[in-house]
A and B are shown apart, each in its own frame.
Chain A
């Protein structure tokens, strides 16, 4: 059988937690140019379930952290400048809040997805690891004349799950009063850290940006808590899939529009047609047109019949004997919390209604799959 062997390539970059991952017994794999833990001895299945039941700690230090400041010194100017690249209401983002965003291109596709936090005197952008160089160049080219763009060399940890709050409160109880998508500068272990109540699992939790030389110590401190286990990229992927969250490069890319991807919710009214800051970002005409008229295809959830996982790349058909595929799966696998196969993919708008039965091709056979609403697992965020 063709099992993958662990790869340790000297050319790969290391996060500040590299040694800790090795000491914890992680299996390391190359990911976006970094050696990253795909799983620890607990294994993907139990790591996934542990995160939903207690708390998981993820090293996401490979992601890009970029501070954006206006040369004028006014954060409002940085916010307005960033709006030239994203269809999101950044100017309306209040201090201490985070918004999900995406850089768009002239075709209405997505250059990357990111989060934008308002930290009082600057905006903190967190972008995908594989895109961080491209994103930085994109920002410099478009905003360099108005803005200071600083790549931060900091550690980034995600602490996710119903016990995340209690675990972080040991380091600073001020985190308890934070709500979903709040951002705050908190003193943790003597250092100022950027903390957001956000994540990529569908669970309550935090993402914590700390000085790189504190990352290992903080990870160990959090892992000393009996409810916190280290979680690898394997479970990170199955958790986000159950939560219906997009993976850049798989579910969204430069040829998918936000409307097709079901991300219109992230485009606030002020940026839409008739809004006070309508358009003004790449691909605005296409994206705003699709918000009004609908997109020709949509990202949907899929629940395949039976037990066999249907994975990315599987072709989708409208019928058991239909000749021409109508779309394909962009993410798929086994959902440990559902104990069933789940997938996401794009289908024509006419087939996008929940409950529609379509077919996925798997090893030459057609498997029935029901179009499902997303997320597969209800989000467990701390709101209000």
Chain B
């Protein structure tokens, strides 16, 4: 199940573990990503905590924890090759996986249709 945040992150929920990345729209806005910093595996994050940093040639942006949970895995591939975030933002360019404190909390996030509406309204 795919969910989205207003901060242009996507979550793919599998059981109580969510894979998190930034959306295609966000990757396009950022431009060429040249650096990614990911959280430590095991770190416990509250919703809205700074979880990762993504930097383009121009600027640095924070990636926030979309929900509360514990980081269980990170994608070293985007650290080694930040361009992956632009090439495949909603696939191989994922950032981290977190075990959610409360799976039901995903109900508060947007579905695909609601997110598309947000993107169109901000264009």
CA distance A4 to B8 in the complex (A): 11
Query: Would you give the 0/1 interface string for B25-39, flagging 1 where the beta carbon is closer than 8 Å to chain A?
Result: 010011110110100
Q: How far is the CB of A42 from chain B (nearest CB, A)?
A: 10
Query: Would you give the 0/1 interface string for B45-72, flagging 1 where the beta carbon is closer than 8 Å to chain A?
Result: 0000000011111111111100000000
A-B contact pairs, 20 of them (CB 8 A): A1-B7, A1-B8, A1-B22, A2-B7, A3-B30, A4-B29, A5-B29, A39-B31, A44-B57, A44-B58, A45-B34, A45-B57, A48-B57, A235-B57, A238-B57, A308-B55, A333-B57, A334-B35, A334-B57, A336-B57
Q: How far is the CB of A305 from chain B (nearest CB, A)?
A: 13
Please, which residues of chain A bring their CB within 8 A of the CB of B22? 1
Q: Which of B9, B32, B54, B64 has the most CB of A within 10 A?
A: B32
The answer, yes or no, to whether A38 is at the interface (CB within 8 Å) is yes
Interface of B is mostly: strand
Which single residue of chain A is at the shortest CB-CB distance from B37? A308
The answer, yes or no, to whether A311 is at the interface (CB within 8 Å) is yes
Which single residue of chain B is at the shortest CB-CB distance from A2? B61
The answer, yes or no, to whether A363 is at the interface (CB within 8 Å) is yes
Instruction: Let me know if A1 and B57 touch, CB within 8 A.
Output: no
CA distance A309 to B55 in the complex (A): 8
Please, which residues of chain A bring their CB within 8 A of the CB of B26? 1, 3
Further 15 A-B residue pairs, CB within 8 A, beyond A1-B61, A363-B37: A3-B30, A3-B61, A38-B58, A44-B31, A44-B32, A45-B32, A45-B57, A234-B57, A235-B57, A238-B57, A309-B34, A311-B59, A334-B35, A336-B57, A341-B35
Please, which residues of chain B bring their CB within 8 A of the CB of A1? 7-9, 22, 26, 54, 61-64
CA distance A3 to B86 in the complex (A): 14
Please, which residues of chain B bring their CB within 8 A of the CB of A2? 7, 61-62
- Given that A1-B54, A45-B57 are known contacts, is A309 also in contact with B35, CB under 8 Å in the complex? yes
Please, which residues of chain B bring their CB within 8 A of the CB of A311? 59-60
Instruction: Let me know if A308 and B57 touch, CB within 8 A.
Output: no
The answer, yes or no, to whether A307 is at the interface (CB within 8 Å) is yes
